[in-house]
Amino acid sequence: MSNSNWKPEFRNSEIAFNEAIEAGALSLSPEAPNYAGNYMYMFTEELRGDAFKNIYTRNYIYMGKKSAQQRSKE
């Protein structure tokens, strides 16, 4: 991030994983390239949503643009 004022949010990782699986961003299938077992929850970013990092490739995937505050209001 180029913004030095950026501060990540952190939320319950179990909830973040469950929502990512439900939305299709992560999968429960070990054969899938987005298998949840190969990712770790890192943080939640306001613009890109929950960030998950692949434990092998170190690449990130993002859940979406909703922030934790927006989800908590639903």
pLDDT reading at 71 higher than 70: no
* More confident of the two residues 12 and 65: 12
39: phi > 0 → left, psi -120 to 50 → alpha, else beta; which?
Answer: beta
Q: What is the mean pLDDT of residues 13-41?
A: 96
pLDDT, tens digit (0-9, with 9 covering 90-100), for 41-67: 999 988 889 999 999 999 999 987 654
Longest Cα–Cα distance of the chain, Å, equals 39
This prediction has a pTM of 0.78
- The answer to whether the beta carbons of residues 18 and 5 sit under 8 Å apart is no
